[in-house]
A and B are shown apart, each in its own frame.
Chain A
């Protein structure tokens, strides 16, 4: 009972196909409140599709998805008030400034965070008058994190947040992600990097070819595969699955 109460994301038998074929083929996941939950896997494994179905951006072909007890399709309006997302490839107009973006996004929510305080917390105040198009990759990601948090979400989806960042900006971003969890927000983190998953995630699911091939804590996955690192465990799992 306690476990069920604490579960904020429940995905069962999720399927989603595209013209080209199947992107997600029977994925089931549980994410608990307050966790940093990782989704890792090679390109085309279906990670982004799972996140897009959970955040209401795509309609599943089959299976059930519940986030905070809500169906992302039918209860979209209510759900979007309570989740935040940083999406792959999404952008803002080049001319919008950091301050304008935060203020405008705050206005979409019934009970938003104080956008000025958020801007301060994420170190964006000195760049408040800078246009989005003039921000470096690291600053753009910082702004995207702040925008994902401006509605005071209970769950945030971060999709390949650090892929385009240099190593030091990645390390900084890890600190930011831990800060989000400190505030009691559940984080779903899609990542390519095993060092990132090992450093940040309480639990993770490893996906390949539209399926979950393993779920567990980083330490658990390493132990199960009798490996020395998560990287090694990951490659063993993917190789076995594709073997």
Chain B
């Protein structure tokens, strides 16, 4: 009980702290909305006939998860270490699991609000179709948040400073976002780019979220890969964690 109470307290506070940081709010909310607007200036259907908006909203949904999980989250953790916020926490009964859980939840709540904003804009301005498989969309989003969040926690556990976390996070995020189909639709990527992109942890999230939104059968491989990444990266992050 205490631990649950502690967790919700910490999540609430961490979420407020993230929102007070203008850069993270910009990355999670404003930046993807602007990207949606830029991408939808030409809304030709994709090769294969999918409407651009119905592909773009799920794609940018993964983009937001990736940006918050791989750049904002590790920077927060690393900055806490650098400033010795973690040192003070270490002298309390708070555990690394609780700290990770709270950081993950706060950042993913931020990502969820960014995605909700995109959906509202899509519905209001671009006649976004309702998701074909709402439960599948939620599952894909949750697994995407878990798997990319675990990778972000691992980066945050390893890097020495907030500055290094931002550099490494952005260095991983942008190539992944472009190759995995979160920015450019997979249909428009060349075969070799798609092959490289498929090796990144963002690719299964893009695939699963788009399948869920379209209401087509979801690839068990994509879901399985995300679950596996969550377990492996999350476990490594806990082992590598230093206060």
Decide yes or no whether A108 CB sits under 8 A from chain B: yes
Decide yes or no whether B235 CB sits under 8 A from chain A: no
Q: Is the interface of A mostly helix, strand, loop or mixed?
A: loop
Most buried by A among B9, B20, B21, B92: B92
Known contacts A77-B93, A80-B92: does B84 contact A91 (CB below 8 Å)?
yes
Within B71-92, the residues touching A (CB, 8 Å) are: 80, 83-85, 87-88, 90-92
What number of B residues sit within 8 Å (CB to CB) of A?
21
B154, chain A: closest CB distance, angstroms: 22
Chain B positions within 8 Å of A109 at CB level: 2, 92-93
Interchain CA distance A96-B14 in the complex, whole Å: 9
- The answer on a CB contact under 8 Å between A80 and B91 is yes
Decide yes or no whether B16 CB sits under 8 A from chain A: yes
Chain A positions within 8 Å of B88 at CB level: 87, 90-92, 147
Within B3-26, the residues touching A (CB, 8 Å) are: 5-6, 9-10, 13, 16-17, 20-21
- The answer on a CB contact under 8 Å between B93 and A80 is yes
Decide yes or no whether A105 CB sits under 8 A from chain B: yes
A105, chain B: closest CB distance, angstroms: 6
- The answer on a CB contact under 8 Å between A90 and B9 is no
Question: Quick one: which of B5, B13, B91 contacts A85, CB cutoff 8 A?
Answer: B91
- The answer on a CB contact under 8 Å between B83 and A93 is yes
Write the A46-86 contact mask toward B (1 if CB under 8 angstroms, else 0): 00000000011100000000000000000001001100110
B1, chain A: closest CB distance, angstroms: 9
Chain A positions within 8 Å of B85 at CB level: 90-93
Question: Quick one: which of A57, A77, A85, A91 contacts B83, CB cutoff 8 A?
Answer: A91
Interchain CA distance A151-B93 in the complex, whole Å: 9
Q: What residues make up the interface of A, taking CB atoms closer than 8 Å to B?
A: 55-57, 77, 80-81, 84-85, 87, 89-93, 95-96, 100, 103-105, 107-110, 147, 151
A-B contact pairs, 9 of them (CB 8 A): A90-B87, A90-B91, A91-B85, A92-B85, A95-B20, A96-B13, A96-B17, A107-B6, A109-B92
Additional A-B contacts beyond A87-B87, A91-B84, A100-B13 (19; CB < 8 A) = A56-B91, A57-B91, A80-B92, A81-B93, A89-B87, A90-B85, A90-B91, A91-B85, A93-B80, A96-B17, A100-B16, A108-B6, A108-B94, A109-B2, A109-B92, A110-B2, A110-B93, A147-B88, A151-B92
